[in-house]
Structure 1
Amino acid sequence: MSNYTAPIRDMQFVMRELAGLAEVGRLPGCEEVSEDLVDAILDEAGKFASGVLAPLNRTGDQQGASWENGNVHTAAGWKEAYKQFAEAGWTALACDPEYGGQGLPKLLSTAVMEMWKASNMAFSLCPMLTNGAIEALVLRGTDEQKALYLTRMVSGEWTGTMNLTEPQAGSDLAAVRTKAEPQGDGSYKIFGQKIFITYGDHDMTDNIVHLVLARLPDAPEGVKGISLFVVPKFMADADGTLGLRNDVHCVSIEHKLGIHASPTCVLAFGDKGGAVGYLVGEANRGLEYMFIMMNEARFAVGMEGLALSERAYQQALAYAKERIQGTELGVRGGPKVSIIHHPDIRRMLMSMKSQTEAMRALAYVVGAATDSAHLHPDEEVRKRSQAFVDLMIPVVKGWCTENSIEIASTGVQIHGGMGFIEETGAAQHFRDARITTIYEGTTAIQANDLIGRKLAREGGATAKTVVADIHVVLGELETKGGEAFAAIQRSLKGGTEALSTAIDYIVATYGSDIKSASVGAVPFLKLFGIVAGGWQMARAALAAQRLLDAGEGDSAFLSTKIITARFYADHVLSQAAGLGYAIVNGADGALALSEEQF
């Protein structure tokens, strides 16, 4: 089984040449974020990821989390690794300095997040959920809640969770039944059950801060009647001293296809008289507040897709270089060679490599836009950046995770029969990736959000701005000579035309025939991802050529960038036309059968 090495050189290239690291460093509050600081942080994060987290990935998968007498125990080495993680300050990287955070930009934390998820996805889920809970409390918590919880969560002393799903209420949160009964002293008693709660219980920290959706007695029906409550595992004094155990208990953990070392808990609230909770923000606005966590988590899950793709690619590449099998095609009587010499292995590796690099580029660009949306001094720039981020988060989440399943599967294929054997570890990446298209809203939920809230609601305005930005790149490509740039230009132009046609169709159809528009929602998300990824790959090729012309950088690395962009254009962007056709013409066949005809 291969080790993990953080792809720092590619991360640096994307951050500097595509995501605008220099521009981010000029934003208010980011003035000290120099290239030297970024490089130092990436280097240290890479060492921690490869040296501490990656070795636990395999053993954690084999051992898993365990539940005994109501308590959850993490796999061997987990507690020690988490302690190192927190003491090194990684939990505080992007958090507000007011609560002990380092206040570093989203662009940098995005790259570091990729390392945690690639080296050990199961481990990374704990700080991911904590960060979402921190964000919700920063924006909507009371002063008392912030004082008690935030510094301890930012430091890693305590962790956090988000509690949405119930046995009868999966994605349909209108069906939430957990109750919150006011006690007259500002507190509430919480009664109900939540399922699929990642790190809902564990032994890595002394306390866990649960954010829980529940209904007040006089709440209206549906999603408008949901409130958000903070429910700690242990009650605590104002100075953080822990007291009595709260009435929230893990009654079981799930036995899953993958991410075995991440405890997925069933939590019971109030079986012994009621769990004490405190209202976050205003009553009946809980779903709105939870979406603060949800958007953060959706982007982070998209990063899981990218990270697992990188890990699967690294392992497949190492195996392809080592595995001796057959002679090289066209070399009569030649010696046995490693399988990387075989054309189809090359094709599969290039498919993995090019899509992973496209996902990284798009995700980092969205991360940088988040910094601009929060920090840019010009209000109009902030608004445009936020609109772009809102549009692209479902694409990053849905496209990257769907790709990760295919890419991890390709990694298994490159291993051949050994890929199906758990001993090699290739299967773990495939198993771990499978949850990512379901986490924090399935691909269809992301796609419906994309075409409804992000496209139809504004008449496609932001999406058309993206198309206009792609046309600028198309113009740059036309000025370049050589077949590689001509091929990239042809495919990107065709993909952009398909995307524009699909945007127009959804905008025109959504209001009058929502079912027909929705049949094409997931294909549209995939089309948008492919074309947006192609846009970034084209920009990468142009940047690489500029550096080559200037005699700067590693010429072999930069030439590889251009070749990889060419492969993406020929093999991935070329799918755009078919997806565009299915979006515009695919509804009739999908909706024609009656239920009895299936």
Structure 2
Amino acid sequence: MPSYTPPLRDMQFLLHEVFDSVERLKAIPRYAELDADTVNAVLEGAGQFAAEVTQPLNLSGDSEGCTLDRDTHTVTTPKGFKEAYAQFVAGGWPALSCEPEYGGQGLPFVANQCLYEMLNSANQAWTMYPGLSHGAYEALHAYGSDAQKQTYLGKLTSGEWTGTMCLTEPQCGTDLGLLTTKAEPQPDGSYRLTGSKIFISAGEHDMAENIVHLVLARLPDAPKGSKGISLFVVPKFLVNDDGSLGARNPIYCTGLEHKMGIHGNATAQISLEGAAGTLVGEPNKGLQAMFIMMNAARLGVGNQSLGLTEVAFQNALAYAKERIQMRSLSGPKAKDKPADPILVHPDVRRSLLTAKAYAEAGRALLVYCALLVDEHLYHPDEKRRKQANQLVALLTPIAKAFVTDNGFIATNECMQVFGGHGYIHENGMEQFVRDARINLIYEGTNTVQSLDLLGRKVLGDQGAALKLFGKEVAAFIEAEGVNEAMAEFINPLAFLADKLTKFTTELGFKAFTSPDEAGGASVDYLRVAGHLVYAYLFARMAKVAQTALAAGSTDPFYTAKLQTARFYVARLFPEVASRMQTARSGVANLLDTDAALA
């Protein structure tokens, strides 16, 4: 059975040594009293909960799955899930970064990011039940009416109620302009919704007393396409004026998807049969409100793969130290044993270091993004709020697609370390691979994220956000360019920073004459941009490690960080060359293929 140790040292390294997050956040009045001891205590408690409460349920939850009673439309989650959630609520974890006005603890979003990384390592399927609630909270906090906030935010904050996002329908996934769910106005100002939704994560369960569904639907006079979509809040149980639960709303689970992974999460087919709901925000502007939840979910999905990468690495490393097979090519290393531990073999180390590098860079990216979210929401300087918003918008598709692509690569590499034993369920590795695979698909496939990055986030604003990030990278390169000890990290970073500007301009000209060119190059482009971000973050981490060692530290953590950074630069970063070459090959080799695809 797999085990899990929360990576507290690496989280603290990023928070306190690389990003100096406490001092950075103290510039925000609501965090003026924040201190490192508080942050560390929260992380330790979160790690303990993940490792001791939810992780032991991961393997069994995968085997058991969820059960639907079709007569009552109720779903029973795997044994122990409900009890673990009750502990989660009792511990106040759902309220960590929510507003004190609604019963929240008011801690930074970055603390919540670290909590959810550990929960995802421990049990992704379980974590999806409370995880989606934060997106619902944010959407209602931003666009809900005073009455909606009063009704729902306190219960979502406490965790007594959970939330979902109901977007997808049988005939439309990414193209939400095709949705057909209808919302009929009622004399009392409410609406009656009728239609079908599919692939609704945590869409029905027995863990909370009510589920707050955010549903996209069309008003009778709505324009066609995405401009005619409105957002509604539709609770599982209606809520009385005094806040108590009323009648069962006719929004039912009619089926559970039989999936490759995340078996412990109820991926529901939902039928709305005249369900009562209220409009969130303005009519026909539902996507604007839902994007609050979708963007939070995209960062959350990146976090899911980060969690799986970390736990897969930990277990593969432990196995590689114990499993003996063959001798080292350079001669026996464990002379007291009949064979050497497989850790001595170079390619086993390549697999392990791939996972370790992608975990550490992914963690740095998601912590960086979380700090930007905190600044965007609460920084007193309007200019800084705007810049933080630009940067997090630019980095969100990378955080979703690059981290999840790499997470699938890493979990596969870690399963390979186990050999045939990795293919066996009770060892847990094949579950990590299966669970990781969905993260490339939902909340906007990784191809959609790539199109979003190149088409909307880079070309769409004439490169303004990319230039803003580029200035940050350039300042670091200038500061460290004369430091010979940093040359091995700075030179590749500087090379790619220069090349990416020219590469972007080249693709922009091609896309201007033929939009399909952007479609053919976007996935490659995101991989290149992702490596620029990772190279920058690894360079920053390497600088801190070098400084600590130069000051006399004997902590092996810093030596390990440098070794991992060197592996990344030498073995993973060079992917950018092939990706730029394939992007430049043009779209003709994809579209002029009617005979090949006949």
TM bucket normalised to smaller: over 0.9
Contact 1:19 1:361 in 2 (8 A): no
Distance 1:269 1:341, change over 3 A: same
Using the TM superposition, give the Cα deviation of residue 133 of structure 1 relative to its aligned residue in structure 2, in angstroms: 0.7
1:8 paired residue number:
8
User: Which of 215, 220, 223 is the aligned partner of 2:218?
Assistant: 215
User: Which of 109, 129, 132 is the aligned partner of 1:106?
Assistant: 109
Using the TM superposition, give the Cα deviation of residue 515 of structure 1 relative to its aligned residue in structure 2, in angstroms: 0.6
Is 1:224 equivalent to 2:227 in the alignment? yes
Once residues 498 and 110 of structure 1 are traced to their aligned partners in structure 2, the CA distance between those partners, rounded to angstroms, is 32
Using the TM superposition, give the Cα deviation of residue 470 of structure 1 relative to its aligned residue in structure 2, in angstroms: 2.1
1:517 paired residue number:
518
Once residues 597 and 9 of structure 1 are traced to their aligned partners in structure 2, the CA distance between those partners, rounded to angstroms, is 51
Once residues 579 and 586 of structure 2 are traced to their aligned partners in structure 1, the CA distance between those partners, rounded to angstroms, is 10
Which amino acid is the alignment partner of residue 364 of structure 1? V
- Unaligned runs of at least 5 residues, structure 2: none
Using the TM superposition, give the Cα deviation of residue 233 of structure 1 relative to its aligned residue in structure 2, in angstroms: 0.7
Is 1:377 equivalent to 2:380 in the alignment? yes
Contact 1:456 1:510 in 2 (8 A): no
Which amino acid is the alignment partner of residue 440 of structure 1? E
2:297 paired residue number:
297
Once residues 422 and 310 of structure 2 are traced to their aligned partners in structure 1, the CA distance between those partners, rounded to angstroms, is 16
Once residues 137 and 461 of structure 1 are traced to their aligned partners in structure 2, the CA distance between those partners, rounded to angstroms, is 30
1:29 paired residue number:
30
The correspondence of residues 457-496 of structure 1 with structure 2, limited to 5 A, is: 457-482=460-485, 485-496=486-497
The correspondence of residues 149-160 of structure 1 with structure 2, limited to 5 A, is: 149-160=152-163
1:283 paired residue number:
283
Is 1:555 equivalent to 2:588 in the alignment? no
Once residues 140 and 86 of structure 1 are traced to their aligned partners in structure 2, the CA distance between those partners, rounded to angstroms, is 25
Once residues 285 and 25 of structure 1 are traced to their aligned partners in structure 2, the CA distance between those partners, rounded to angstroms, is 35
Once residues 507 and 41 of structure 2 are traced to their aligned partners in structure 1, the CA distance between those partners, rounded to angstroms, is 45
Distance 1:18 1:584, change over 3 A: farther
Once residues 505 and 360 of structure 1 are traced to their aligned partners in structure 2, the CA distance between those partners, rounded to angstroms, is 31
Using the TM superposition, give the Cα deviation of residue 455 of structure 1 relative to its aligned residue in structure 2, in angstroms: 0.7
Task: Give the match's secondary structure for 2:574.
Answer: helix
Contact 2:137 2:156 in 1 (8 A): yes
2:429 paired residue number:
426
Contact 1:487 1:570 in 2 (8 A): no
Which amino acid is the alignment partner of residue 11 of structure 1? M
Task: Give the match's secondary structure for 1:2.
Answer: coil
Cα RMSD after superposing both structures: 1.5
Once residues 25 and 62 of structure 1 are traced to their aligned partners in structure 2, the CA distance between those partners, rounded to angstroms, is 46
Task: Give the match's secondary structure for 2:216.
Answer: strand
Which amino acid is the alignment partner of residue 60 of structure 1? G
Q: Which moved more, 1:237-246 or 1:192-201?
A: 237-246
Using the TM superposition, give the Cα deviation of residue 448 of structure 1 relative to its aligned residue in structure 2, in angstroms: 0.8
Using the TM superposition, give the Cα deviation of residue 189 of structure 1 relative to its aligned residue in structure 2, in angstroms: 1.0
Distance 1:352 1:589, change over 3 A: same
1:87 paired residue number:
90
Is 1:97 equivalent to 2:80 in the alignment? no
1:569 paired residue number:
569
Once residues 464 and 511 of structure 2 are traced to their aligned partners in structure 1, the CA distance between those partners, rounded to angstroms, is 15
Contact 1:234 1:245 in 2 (8 A): yes
Once residues 495 and 112 of structure 1 are traced to their aligned partners in structure 2, the CA distance between those partners, rounded to angstroms, is 33
Once residues 365 and 516 of structure 1 are traced to their aligned partners in structure 2, the CA distance between those partners, rounded to angstroms, is 31
1:321 paired residue number:
321
Q: Deviations over 1:448-503 (max 9, x none)?
A: 11111111111112212322322333334433335xx3332332233323322322
Once residues 27 and 197 of structure 1 are traced to their aligned partners in structure 2, the CA distance between those partners, rounded to angstroms, is 36
Contact 2:451 2:518 in 1 (8 A): no
1:201 paired residue number:
204
| TM-score, reference length from structure 1 | 0.96
Using the TM superposition, give the Cα deviation of residue 332 of structure 1 relative to its aligned residue in structure 2, in angstroms: 5.5
Task: Give the match's secondary structure for 2:75.
Answer: strand
Contact 1:492 1:569 in 2 (8 A): no
2:363 paired residue number:
360
Which amino acid is the alignment partner of residue 581 of structure 2? Y
Q: Deviations over 1:543-569 (max 9, x none)?
A: 1112222335x5311111111111111
| TM-score, reference length from structure 2 | 0.96
Once residues 422 and 319 of structure 1 are traced to their aligned partners in structure 2, the CA distance between those partners, rounded to angstroms, is 15
Once residues 372 and 582 of structure 1 are traced to their aligned partners in structure 2, the CA distance between those partners, rounded to angstroms, is 37
The correspondence of residues 115-134 of structure 1 with structure 2, limited to 5 A, is: 115-134=118-137
Using the TM superposition, give the Cα deviation of residue 23 of structure 1 relative to its aligned residue in structure 2, in angstroms: 0.7
- Identical residues among aligned pairs (%): 43
The correspondence of residues 31-46 of structure 1 with structure 2, limited to 5 A, is: 31-46=32-47
Task: Give the match's secondary structure for 1:95.
Answer: coil
